[in-house]
Each structure stands twice: as structure tokens, then as C-alpha cells.
Structure 1
Amino acid sequence: MTASTAGAQRLREFKMPDVGEGLTEAEILKWYVQPGDTVTDGQVICEVETAKAAVELPSPFDGVVHALHFDEGVTVDVGTAIISVDTDPGAGPAEPAAAADAPAAPAEEEPEPKGRQAVLVGYGAAPSATKRRARKAQPGVPAQPEPVHAGLQAELNGRAVVAPVAPAPVAPAPAVPAGRPLAKPPVRKLAKDLGIDLATIAPTGPDGIITREDVHAAAAPAPSVAPSPEPEAAAPAEAGVVDTGARERRVPVKGVRKATAQAMVNSAFTAPHVTEFITVDVTRTMKLVQELKQDPDMAGLRVNPLLLVAKAFLVAIKRHPEVNAAWDEANQEIVYKDYVNLGIAAATPRGLIVPNIKDAGVKTLPRLAEELGELVATAREGKTSPAAMSGGTVTITNVGVFGVDTGTPILNPGESAILAFGAVKLQPWVHKGKVKARQVTTLALSFDHRLIDGELGSKLLADIAAILEHPKRLITWG
């Protein structure tokens, strides 16, 4: 066995796993290790963002990090190697079997690592057949006589560099290269966010790399110069034409926002939506919220109107269990569910997500409050797991926290109904025959008309309103 073969066997590659349910890619948000660092089985090595959530990936090997194959900010296909680990560092330096300047070839029939497999959904599935697109050759870029810069290795792998017949003369100042500009992925993202065309930037980095400083310099306003008189013959700009390029920003749609957009389009044009509205006096419910905050059984728990709206929704579903269903298009069946996984729409820095409380219909009010608080806190931290966002049956969206009266919510895909809870406002209301100031809100219920007809949807919404108007029904009906 040659030394290079032995080194290749020591280098174990950790491939991007399917950290969700059938997801095909994930973006590397942050590396927690660097080449040369010692890692142990189960140690978190990086954080990635999928279309559903941010997830920390543990190493399945013990050893020393040999190489990171992708920079932060790069989206990687499931099944692609993202890190190499030398599992026997005491045997001397490990070298890959292939030449350093050639693309790495996948190991043939490599046995599974002895270390523990990462505890992730779908880990161990066959690698994706998707391959990275080969880079096009740049005929105008001369071959470098010195060793290739380490930061360019990933860029140059798989791309032919054609040398000119005669050496190019040394330019007195950096010039903008022909062809595709050289820049690392984070620099490309920065340029895109700032609206800067990389082809217009003169690189100052080693080997003609465009650096972050180059991008910031290009984005900085030009220094003021004393205006010179323009020739009288200069043609004026066309009337009515405005250059909007400097006042627009383009942000790639990816991760949670991309998944949400696709899901909403699919839902809106697949399930026939019907939305009904009801305005209700919730004065008694708001008083009950204040009383529960003083209840010893609710000590340390977050008690708010959303908690009682959730409980009212669950009690109403218990009275009308037919609404808790799903449409199976493939088998042309309606699937009735004897459990309620209550989704809570949560706005996060990464976009809208809808984690759900499992078996919410059988939980006591204190337990429901505890899990609701944990769900919201985890979502805001960006740590919601993919499992927490799957299997929902119905959802609540609290638009009232933004001062909005109500809306026409779109169903979460695969669910039968979604309830919008509007702002609670002090309004004139007829109460016991007299106009009084009462706390009033508007509820909107959207439902899948294939599963729920107008009568059933109306009864469900009316029951929710009746409970919130007279919350003692939580006891008599629950």
C-alpha cells in the first residue's frame, strides 16, 4: 500500500446530510472548526440553514480537521462532502490520493466510519446525483508561475486556465480582468447585496482576487470634484428617464423565505380557500387573562390572550372533530385525525415559520402555556427543529400583535384550517341593552372547502367566538 493510498484512507469525508424531510440543499452559516483543529465524535462542527430551520451538525469522527471544502455562505447539495478529517493524525501528514491541483474524486466503496452517525433525519441516504457545474475557461487569464493561492483552489478546481502565447506585460496598476471575476462566495454575496457589478472592480488581492475592501471601495461615494463646465452641445438626458439602479437592492431568495414562498403558492392554488369573519366581545376573556396571571398554578408561565384563543380553538375542534382532517390527493381520500398538532405562525429573522405543539388537544392549560412559550422562544432564536414544523393539523396566526384587525390567512400546506386572531381594541359595543366601551376583536377562519363546508366552518368559528365571549365555557364545553 502506497503512502498516498494510506493517507487517502485516513481522510474521512463528512457529507451534507438531509437534516429535514427530503430537503436537497443547505447553506453553511458558520464553521466552528478550522483546519488543524482536533474534533471528537459528536462535537458540533458547523451550523447550516435549510429551507426549514438552522441546524447544528455534529462530527461523526474523532481526528484532526484536514480541510473545509466550502466557505460560510455557500449553499451545498445534500450528499456533497463538506469537511475532511484525518482519523489517524499520529501516523504523520495525510495527503489525498489525487494530485493537489486536481478535483477530488469521491472514494470508491468507502466503508462507513466507525464513529457514531450524526443524529439527523435521513442521514446516511445515498448522495445526491447533482453535480457542481464545471467552470468555463478564461482565455484572457495567464497561467500563474507561482503556487496557486489557497483561497482560489476551490475556484480553480474543475476550470481550465489557458496561458497566452506570449507573457502579458506588467501593468502599472491593477486592471479589471476579462471573463468571470475572481472572488470568494462571501465577497460575491456582499457585492450582490450592495448592488455592485464585480466585473467593474479592479482586484487588489493576491492572484487577481477581488477582496471585501475592493467591494466596499467600489460602493463608497466618489469624492467631490469641482464641476467643470459642460460643452454647450452636450445632449440633455431623455426626459422622464430615471436611473433606479443605485436605489434598488437585490437579495437572493433562499432558506426559510424560499420554502415559505413555495409552500404558500402551492397552498393557495391547490386547496380551495374560504375565509369567514366574526367580531366578538372578549372583555371577559381579557379579565380572565389577568386573573390567571395571579393563579399559583400558572406561576412562571407566560399568560396572554393568545393562550386562551388557542384553548378556545382546541375546545371548538373537540366539539367538531370533522374539521381536523387532511386531503390525500394521491389516494383520493380524506384522512380524519384523532389528534391535534396546533401550529403557531411565528415571524423570525429568517422568515415566517410554523412550528406546532404536538397533541395540543389533550394538554392542560398550564402545560399548553409552557409549550407555547418554549415554541415561541425557540423560533426567535432560530433553533426550531424540522420535526417541530412537520405534522401540523391546524394553525393560529396572531396578527393582532402588529395592530392589525384581521386578514385572510393562507392555509399551511396539508392542514385543514387556520385562525387569524386580530387586535383587541376598546370599542363602543351594545352590552345588556346599553352602549358601553368593551374590548373587541375580529377573528378570521380560513379553511379547505374540500374538507369543511360552509356550515361546519361557520359552526367552528361561532363556537370559538362564544368561548371567548363567555370563557367559562372552557369548563362546560371542554
Structure 2
Amino acid sequence: MPTQRRLAGAEEFFAASMTLREAGPRLSLMRLMSFDGMIKAREELSRKAPLQRLTPTVILLKVMGALLSRPQYNELNSRVDQDTVITYESVNVALPIYRERGRTTVIVVEDVNRKTVEELSSEVRSAKEGTDYSKATFLLVNLGVMGIDAITGISLPGIASSVAIGRIRKGPVYDEARDRTVTANIAWVTLTVDPRVVGPDVTGSFLADLASVLANKDLVLQLLS
């Protein structure tokens, strides 16, 4: 006999994220980035504090909070209510967390831009699932932990912007400073925005700044401090 069940928790989250009619118009931009700086920063922090166990997701969370709190990127940290755009000072990130045995927990981490990386790490580890996304001002999805290379776009109704990170792998990348191709830890990054809220100048600049930070260990450590 057929069975039926209601979508709940993370399933409900992903169903909502794919319903573009509810989410509103969306524009997605993809860029291949080097993550060498983030990886080296994590290794350095792990040597100094081996019990801290900072995950790539937590580091990305802190980096996003720091960038989104910059005045030039405020509009990325917005919600849309019908024809009203609400821009926030606090960066509240909706974050899917992939637990054991394939289970996904979706949490909202509030005030990311005001918390230390240690506080964020503790909060993410102990967070319980919640389906109230009305406080979320931004969506961050780390698809790499699922082995996914890239996604064309993911969003949530009411949230103006999101970033999805693909699987980090070794690959060739052009080093402008040295004018040659080098091997680096690379991944696709997809920025999805509501084009009514976020202009093309902001999206391009944000992706460029994010790429510069993730490739540079010192810049990552500076944002994490």
C-alpha cells in the first residue's frame, strides 16, 4: 500500500528553498575560488588550539558575517516583505548542518557578525533544529560535505541573498600575481540574490572580496580574530 508523510524540518527547508515562485526573482552568479587561505588558517588555528576543532563551515560562517557587516554589502543582508526591503545590522544566517547518517538539521545562527569564532563553533555544535526562518537575513549552504561540486542557486522565501559552497578539491587556478597557472584547493561558489534588492555592482564586488579573503591566510585570520 502507498504511504504518505508531511515534509518536516530540513525537508521542508529544501522544499521551500526550491520554490522560486515564493522566493521571488533570483539571479545566480558562480565563481571558481581558491580556498588555500582558509585551509592554511584552519591548520594554524588547529595547531595553536587543538581542542577547538573549527570546521570549515564555522570559518565560512564567520567570514560571511564579517563581510556582510561592511557598509557596501548591507543590502545583501536583507529580507523582502512584499514590496518592502528590510536591511539589518545583525547578520542572522540560516545554516543547514549535516549530521550523522545523512540527517540534516537546519538552524538559524543569530548575530554572526558580533560573535567570536569560538562562540559560533560552540553554537553550531550544540544547536537543535528549528524551522522558524523569519529571523534569518542570509542563507549559507556548504554543499561540499555532501560531495556536491556546485549548484545553480538556492534561496529561501523572504531572504534576499545566499551563498552555496561546493566541494573543495585540488585543481588548476590562474595566479594573477605570478602570472601563471598553479595547483590550489578550489571550489565553486554560487551567490544567489534578489535582483530587485541587490545590484550587479554589489554582487561582483562581493564575490571578488570573498575570493581574495579565502585565498589569503592572513586575511582569513584577520576576520576570525
Instruction: State the match for 1:328 in structure 2.
Output: 81
Instruction: State the match for 2:209 in structure 1.
Output: 463
Pair 309,385 (structure 1): closer, same or farther in 2 beyond 3 Å: closer
Matches within 5 A, 1:201-280: 250-256=3-9, 259-260=12-13, 263-264=16-17, 266-280=19-33
Distance 2:103 2:153 in 1: 16
> Structure 2: 5+ residue runs without aligned partners?
none
Q: For each residue in 1:401-439, what CA deviation from the matched residue of structure 2 results, as whole angstroms up to 9, or x when unmatched? A: 122211023212221111111111111334423443221
Mapped pair 1:303 → 2:54: yes
Indicate the SS of the match to 1:326.
Answer: strand
Mapped pair 1:291 → 2:37: no
Instruction: State the match for 1:137 in structure 2.
Output: none
Matches within 5 A, 1:349-428: 353-375=105-127, 378=128, 384-386=129-131, 389-428=133-172
Deviation at 1:468, TM superposition (A): 0.2
Distance 1:305 1:353 in 2: 17
Instruction: State the match for 2:35 in structure 1.
Output: 282
Instruction: State the match for 1:442 in structure 2.
Output: 188
Q: For each residue in 1:52-96, what CA deviation from the matched residue of structure 2 results, as whole angstroms up to 9, or x when unmatched? A: xxxxxxxxxxxxxxxxxxxxxxxxxxxxxxxxxxxxxxxxxxxxx
Pair 256,386 (structure 1): closer, same or farther in 2 beyond 3 Å: closer
Letter in 2 for 1:468: L
Deviation at 1:270, TM superposition (A): 4.1
Deviation at 1:373, TM superposition (A): 2.0
Distance 1:263 1:339 in 2: 23
Instruction: State the match for 2:199 in structure 1.
Output: 453
Q: For each residue in 1:171-215, what CA deviation from the matched residue of structure 2 results, as whole angstroms up to 9, or x when unmatched? A: xxxxxxxxxxxxxxxxxxxxxxxx2xxxxxxxxxxxxxxxxxxxx
Partners of 1:268 and 1:410 within 8 A in 2: no
The structure showing larger relative contact order (alpha-carbon pairs under 8 Å, at least 6 residues apart) is 2
Deviation at 1:266, TM superposition (A): 4.5
Percent identity (aligned): 19
Matches within 5 A, 1:33-112: none
Deviation at 1:315, TM superposition (A): 1.9
Partners of 1:325 and 1:393 within 8 A in 2: yes
TM-score by length of 2: 0.83
Partners of 1:395 and 1:418 within 8 A in 2: yes
Partners of 1:343 and 1:395 within 8 A in 2: yes
Pair 413,302 (structure 1): closer, same or farther in 2 beyond 3 Å: farther
Partners of 1:268 and 1:411 within 8 A in 2: no
Q: For each residue in 1:309-366, what CA deviation from the matched residue of structure 2 results, as whole angstroms up to 9, or x when unmatched? A: 222212221221122111121xx32111111111112356897553111111111122
Letter in 1 for 2:34: D
Pair 417,357 (structure 1): closer, same or farther in 2 beyond 3 Å: same
Q: For each residue in 1:7-44, what CA deviation from the matched residue of structure 2 results, as whole angstroms up to 9, or x when unmatched? A: xxxxxxxxxxxxxxxxxxxxxxxxxxxxxxxxxxxxxx
Equivalent residue for 2:64, pick from 280, 302, 313: 313
Deviation at 1:385, TM superposition (A): 4.2
Instruction: State the match for 2:218 in structure 1.
Output: 472
Distance 2:3 2:74 in 1: 46
Aligned residue pairs total: 219
Indicate the SS of the match to 2:191.
Answer: strand
Pair 261,253 (structure 1): closer, same or farther in 2 beyond 3 Å: farther
Letter in 1 for 2:40: K
> Structure 1: 5+ residue runs without aligned partners?
1-194, 196-248, 379-383
